Chain A
């Protein structure tokens, strides 16, 4: 089953590993493959607008590229949306939720923020036009960083345990079922092939519980190429040390670069043997913002890697 057969792609991983870039890349590739795609940023992620040269994204979907849209889901907007849907009267919402006692109260319900944000994604997934056509073929979620990402994925379970019944229970139960259903949701774990990020990714995997079934792909981002990969040739090169200052420095830097690349490969291997899911890699890129063409080709690489899942 390929990634494009899913309805929701949840992208998570440690902070700073390039989740937003992966989301943008997947979005462009899915859109190019003819899927009407929506990228949803949650929990204060705000990088997507910049990638597409926009100032910011709002709660309503905005066009990012052909066939590709984006929106930003904040807990506040999602709660308003949810409550208005439940009680059908916006004025009552305004009365209730702009009240100074309600803000703290909503903050106090554990998992509510996370659950309503996931609930919004669930709503978008179910959204149909008047003619019964799906509004979105694919929804890509730029999920929060590991520690909190895990909390968010487990939010429906927490809420279910807490509420045990009632309409919110029904709502989160449906969200919960969707996340753990690998036919609908694919979870992508993004990691850097360094020691600690790999440890953390393995730990995250262990704590995903029933949601493990939905994990479709692990992406090792920013893999460096090994300079002078041939071992014999490298040995011959190091024999030149002790001569010219510039040559010495270049050899020393190359040694560092080689070690880094080899260690990354080792860490990637470690990840691959720890997780029973396909692992793929993306090369280290320049620090500047990637062009949409570069992102598209990155996304196509990822879709191909996810296709074998």
Chain B
């Protein structure tokens, strides 16, 4: 089964999780087998889907009237990392040695970019499992999503043999000399900063990890290729607020730079223009209501019209500066937070 990958990116507070859940629910409604995956550490997806908790395995989410099936998964970076170590380690003993290393236990959940890297790993795993028609990925806010794209490079940079030699081999073995710099002085700096014991533990970790590196590197390359592939699309989610649109455009540049496929803009929480004009609102005198009522009704209409005009300008701007043929979806502002599947289904017409 060829799996389509839809990746939603955007700044914080734009409703990215709601949009991701909405896209997944729509695809399930229309007969696809879909998995929605989040790496957001703030557990918003579970909230959005109105389910109590999501684990590291895809759990089914019922969609009323759907001809397809929806699954949701919240990433546990640590568990994914452990799985990888077991898979790539040359022996169970070697795997245990890594899993028991104190530095590993810290790094696997807190390493900069580890959540992002593991999300990609999971994405690839799910895509290759052939179990889904579509996988929707909800990424963390933009600055982190950039980390998300950089994660494979960072990981392979870290796993570079150069780092290994530098850290693991004693100076007398010649490994350090390859770097031409005063490596002993550098090691001194590290030890001075973090204490000898810590640096030695980290070195031990890298040593134990050596056998896994090729596996990891190949995986990183595979992830990169998949993201650039014909079945992948990045959606840029924003609200009508200027700051979130600036973020979306910033991210568009990043996609271009990295030759990643742009799927379109999704603008969330857009207030539609009221039909009536303020002056048309008249409370009949016969109702016997105080004048303040008419004033309040007119004020609501006026504020709403101003907001709608603001939002329309904002969308026009996005169309003007974005690529000429860029698809753009506009989601009307919802009166309240949507966090159950039935309400999210009402968004289907406004989503890709």
Contact = CB atoms under 8 A, between A and B. Distances in A.
A50 B208 CA distance: 48
Interface string A139-162: 000000111101100000010011
For chain B, the bracket of interface size reads 35 or more
Contact of A113 (B44, B112, B162, B296): B112
A102 to B, nearest CB: 7
Contact of B197 (A83, A92, A165, A257): A165
Interface residues of A, number: 72
A87 interface: yes
Nearest to B112: A107
Given A99-B186, A253-B300, A110 B144 contact: no
B113 A158 contact: no
B67 interface: no
Interface stretch (B29-37, B58-66, B278-286): B278-286
Contacts of B337: 194-196
Contacts of A95: 181-182, 185-186
A100 B165 CA distance: 13
A117 to B, nearest CB: 12
B244 interface: yes
Interface string B72-101: 000000000000000000000000000000
Contacts of A129: none
B195 A196 contact: no
A259 interface: yes
Chain A binding site: helix, strand, loop or mixed by DSSP?
helix
A146 B193 CA distance: 29
Nearest to A227: B296
B103 A162 contact: yes
B310 A158 contact: no
B47 interface: yes
B287 A249 contact: no
Given A107-B113, A110-B106, A250 B47 contact: no
A195 B281 contact: no
B281 A246 contact: yes
B324 interface: no
A239 B140 CA distance: 46
B339 interface: yes
B254 interface: no
A108 B158 contact: yes
A64 B242 CA distance: 22
A101 B241 CA distance: 40
A49 interface: no
Interface in B124-171: 140-141, 143-144, 154, 157-158, 160, 162-163, 166-167
Given A16-B244, A236-B287, A200 B42 contact: yes
A104 B336 contact: no
A173 interface: no
A113 B43 CA distance: 24
A244 B282 contact: yes
A243 B162 CA distance: 78
Nearest to A200: B42
B107 A110 contact: yes
Interface stretch (B11-19, B218-226, B257-265): B11-19
B151 to A, nearest CB: 10
A146 B42 contact: yes
23 contacts: A15-B141, A16-B14, A16-B239, A43-B143, A92-B185, A101-B166, A105-B158, A108-B112, A110-B111, A113-B112, A145-B12, A147-B140, A148-B41, A166-B196, A200-B42, A240-B284, A244-B281, A246-B282, A247-B297, A249-B274, A249-B275, A263-B336, A287-B241
Interface of B: 11-14, 40-44, 47-48, 102-103, 106-107, 109-113, 140-141, 143-144, 154, 157-158, 160, 162-163, 166-167, 179, 181-182, 185-186, 189-190, 192-198, 202, 239, 241-244, 274-277, 280-284, 287, 289-290, 292-293, 296-301, 304, 307, 310, 335-337, 339
**What are the 3 tightest A-B residue pairs by CB atom distance, in nearest-first order?**
A15-B12, A16-B13, A166-B195
